[in-house]
Amino acid sequence: MSRLSSQTLAQLPADVIRPAYDRAAVKCGVVHIGIGAFHRAHQAVIFDNALNAGDLRWGIVAASLRSPGVRDQMQPQDGLYTMLVRDGAAQRARVIGAVQRIIVAPEEPQALLAALASPDTHIVTLTITEKGYKLDPATGALIEADPQLAADMVSLDAPQTAPGYLVAALARRRAAGLSPFTAISCDNLPHNGARLRGAVLELARRHDAALADWIAQHGAFPETMVDRIVPATTAEDIAALATRLGVEDQAMVKTEPFLQWVIEDRFCGPRPNFGAGVQLTAAVAPWEEAKLRLLNGAHSGIAYLGGLAGIDHVHEVLALPEARHFVEALWDEAERTLSPPPELDVAAYRRDLMARFDNPTLRHRTRQIAMDGSQKLPQRLLAPIAARLKAGDGIDALALAVAAWIRWQAGRDDSGAPHHVDDPLAETMAAALADKQDTADRVAAILAFDAVVPPALARDDRLRTSLNPWLAILETNGALAALAAFRGV
């Protein structure tokens, strides 16, 4: 079967939406770092909308900082891919044409630097996952011991990290008399703009204090809240789409109808006239906090409890009444810690969120969400726990979710089946747990990770006394029993 490409675009079924603009006339105003499925189903769609609206400045040069996988999928397709929007039985296919070029940074570091330093480039977006910022998840301080970051501290000739690329490219722009680009973090980090700015300025300062001052004065790092559920594509998804399209698309992404991008209105250069799904605002933090603590907090709880119970997908976990009860209770706890923006109707948001999680055709894997827990828990579960303890409120549901994460570190589910703990701290956490004989010691060992758990919180006895009994139930009777016990509380 032939592949999706510029040549085969014309032979797709008539109901497939395709680029309405001349791709050859597009300029690349955007460089994206971290071209995974999330970028292709979120920011790339927004820039494709701008191109469709006739503003041809917003094509994308996309880079991968690690493997050539996505480049090898997309390049034979001229950068084209299908976004399949699934809502129950309904499906809508749209071919996105915004990505013009894909660079694998370790193979072509100079090409990425040239794209970032190009006068056409106005915006740099990043989806490099929480760990890509090289910052301590709890404190936001640069992890100086990280070998790639350490290399970028010495030389930026061929950078290894995202902050390294930004600093090296900003230095070139300054030398060429260009203005900086607007750098937009699209990862689920708290205060993602401030964190990215902090990493860039700190690294720049190590090389050239005047450069750091220039970036601080002229650059822009807007805060953002990004939201769209994008499960990893499977071989079955690709096969089913090939049957529908009549051509094969190895770079397809599948997603839900919902899309939201709240961006702080702080740009240092041109930006498109953002359309549907994008809100520009002065204050992103209340949006971001609500999303991280409600959507992502529940996601992590569902992922660890469901994963331990051997349940593969989010909607299957929520088919259990006990799991729904737990999620609602977790939301009750988290909601009290929020200062939601006036436009956000939290009750409606929660209802919509449950419906999004219930979407049966998305098939979002619990394993996918369980990845990188050490990087995710601080903002999703530990921050609302700290806020509730400060207010003297209980933390039963939040503590069950954290206990399930601790249990997940053991690398076995409730049936004894092994799983890979995919997390930068997996090995050190496993080592810390290895010789601990009882539950309370295991809780203490994990709370001692101060890159994850702020020390003041780790010292709070109310946290230990909430975690210990849940971990004991999880270890002895499993996640389903814990959920049943929770419902009985």
Q: What residues line the site for ligand CS2 (CB under 6 A)?
A: 188, 227-229, 295-296, 299, 368-369, 376
Which lies closer to ligand CS2 via its Cβ, residue 32 or residue 299?
299
Residue keyed to tokens 């076995």? 412
Which lies closer to ligand CS2 via its Cβ, residue 179 or residue 260?
260
Burial class (CB in 10 A: 0-12, 13-18, 19+), 216: middle
CB of 470 to ligand CS2, least distance (A): 21
CB of 41 to ligand CS2, least distance (A): 10
CB of 464 to ligand CS2, least distance (A): 26
Burial class (CB in 10 A: 0-12, 13-18, 19+), 1: exposed
Neighbours of 472 (CB within 10 A): 17
Which lies closer to ligand CS2 via its Cβ, residue 356 or residue 388?
356
Separation of alpha carbons 39 and 33, rounded Å? 9
CB of 472 to ligand CS2, least distance (A): 27
Which lies closer to ligand CS2 via its Cβ, residue 224 or residue 439?
224
Separation of alpha carbons 366 and 308, rounded Å? 10
- Report DSSP letters for 31-54, one per residue: EEE--SHHHHHTHHHHHHHHHHTT
| Assigned token pair, 250 | 């190895």
Which lies closer to ligand CS2 via its Cβ, residue 261 or residue 486?
261
CB of 375 to ligand CS2, least distance (A): 9
Separation of alpha carbons 376 and 372, rounded Å? 6
CB of 185 to ligand CS2, least distance (A): 13
Cβ neighbours of residue 359 under 8 Å, at least 6 residues apart?
86, 87, 88, 229, 256, 315
Separation of alpha carbons 345 and 461, rounded Å? 34
Which lies closer to ligand CS2 via its Cβ, residue 214 or residue 274?
274
End-to-end CA distance of the chain: 57
Separation of alpha carbons 489 and 481, rounded Å? 12
CB of 253 to ligand CS2, least distance (A): 13
Cβ neighbours of residue 217 under 8 Å, at least 6 residues apart?
none
Strand-pair partners of 84: 93, 254
Which lies closer to ligand CS2 via its Cβ, residue 199 or residue 294?
294
CB of 335 to ligand CS2, least distance (A): 18
Residue nearest to ligand CS2 (CB): 299
Which lies closer to ligand CS2 via its Cβ, residue 296 or residue 409?
296
